[in-house]
Amino acid sequence: MREELEQIKREAAEGIRAAGGVKELEELRVALLGKKGRLTGILKGMGRLSAEERPALGQLANEARDFIEGGISAAKAELSRKATLARLAAETIDVTLPGKARARGHYHPMTTAMEELKRIFLGMRYEIAEGPDIETEYYNFDALNIPSDHPARDEQDTFYVEGKDADGGGFALRTATSPVQARTMERGRLPIRMICPGQVFRADEVDATHSPVFHQMEGLVVDKGVTFGDLKGALMVFAREFLGEDTRARFRPHYFPFTEPSAEMDVSCFKCGGAGCNVCKGEGWIEVLGCGMVHPRVLEMRGIDPAVYSGFAFGMGLERIAMLRGAISDMRLLFENDVNFLNQF
């Protein structure tokens, strides 16, 4: 038995040295120290020894077990250390190499245009107002002095929604952000100086200049003594800050049901300065928005006395503004999320 214990120790030492990984070490441990292992069998046979032989051989058996367990444990630790060193060597970073630039996102040109417009008008002490995307026919049309036979109410121009309001009127996806103006005036807190950017919806076919979903920003000022000169002054501040200090503007008579008098505002072409080019189609001017003095009937419907108060309103398409500023020829490019296109901005 003594010789067998020495043989087991020698075989254990050789097996530990030859083991190439943790799996081989575990197989060696099971073969020697497992329930059916060779050393375990010897320990189980100690009962057959005489009382004189048992203590000495028991001590040798325990020493052999400690030798095997310690050797396997040390070998596992060494394998783990070598694996760590190998991994660290493979993951070594040369800090002298140039870094790899990570691609960074940036604002979409539509977001840039909207945030810049907000900055300009907030700087003129306007406030931002919001309203629902689904509007009643009353606020979308009636409250804005749009008659019942106006073409804008036709189903080929407006997306109607099922249901009726408390007064029996219908619902529609708002065709402009103008209903926010009506709701703001209805609150009766005067004076008013606000802008209302947001999504609007119209039954248009998708092409280079039209989309069924687009964005507008409208403005409204109501106070005592407001004139068309105040409107022109505010819009000139917008044009020069947004399009450049050298921007010129002109106002052409137009018609809108909710303003009187009404006008469309053109600005000098930012590309050619008015000489004529492909952007302005040779005219030197680009239409940017519609505007006018709030119609007295609209003020009356909101409970505001037009003999005391007056106001002006304006509205612009944000896609159009973004396209003008970025010299973009096709509105669809703003919605397609083409990274190569967006990287230009």
How many domains is the chain built from? 2
Indicate whether 211 and 332 sit together in one domain: yes
122 and 32 within one domain: no
Tokens for 76, please give them.
Answer: 């596992």
The whole-chain average pLDDT of the chain stands at 87
Count of residues in the chain: 345
Whether residue 209 sits in one domain with residue 123? yes
Residue 98 domain-assigned (yes or no) = no
Domain end, chosen from 61, 90, 119, is at 90
How far is residue 44's CA from residue 39's CA, in Å, rounded to a whole number? 9
> Residue 151 falls within a domain, yes or no?
no
pLDDT at 44: 67
Q: Which of 57, 90, 123 is the last residue of a domain?
A: 90
pLDDT grade, residue 117 (50/70/90)? very high
Q: What is the pTM of this model?
A: 0.68
- Would you say residue 29 has pLDDT above 80? no
Together in a domain, 206 and 269: yes
Distance CA 319, CA 216 (A): 8
Tell me whether residue 9 is in a domain: yes
Which 8-state DSSP code applies to residue 98? P
Tell whether 155 is covered by a domain: no
Give the residue-averaged pLDDT of 267-275.
77
Instruction: Examine the domain organization and report whether 231 and 268 are in the same domain.
Output: yes
My answer on whether 212 and 323 are in the same domain is: yes
Whether residue 101 lies inside any domain: the answer is: no
From CA 343, how far away is CA 239, in angstroms rounded?
26
Note whether 69 and 122 are same-domain residues.
Answer: no
Q: What is the CATH number of the domain that holds 284?
A: 3.30.930.10
297 & 210 share domain: yes
Same domain (yes/no): 196, 336: yes
Same domain, 115 and 207: yes
**Residues 143-199: tens digit of each pLDDT:** 999 988 888 888 788 999 998 888 888 999 999 999 999 999 999 899 999 999 999
Check: CB of residue 212 under 8 Å from CB of residue 175. no
* Residue-range definition of the domain harbouring residue 75: 2-90
For 338, what's the count of Cα atoms within 13 Å in the CB-facing half-sphere? 9
User: Of 148 and 51, which is predicted with more confidence?
Assistant: 148
Q: Is residue 272 part of a domain?
A: yes
User: Is the domain of 51 the same as that of 121?
Assistant: no
Instruction: Indicate whether 143 belongs to any domain.
Output: no
- Shared domain for 218 and 306, answered yes or no, is yes
CA distance 237 to 242: 8
User: Is residue 74 a part of any domain in this protein?
Assistant: yes
Q: 216 pLDDT exceeds 70?
A: yes
Task: State the Cα–Cα distance between residues 30 and 28, nearest whole angstrom.
Answer: 5
Across residues 56-83, what is the average pLDDT?
80
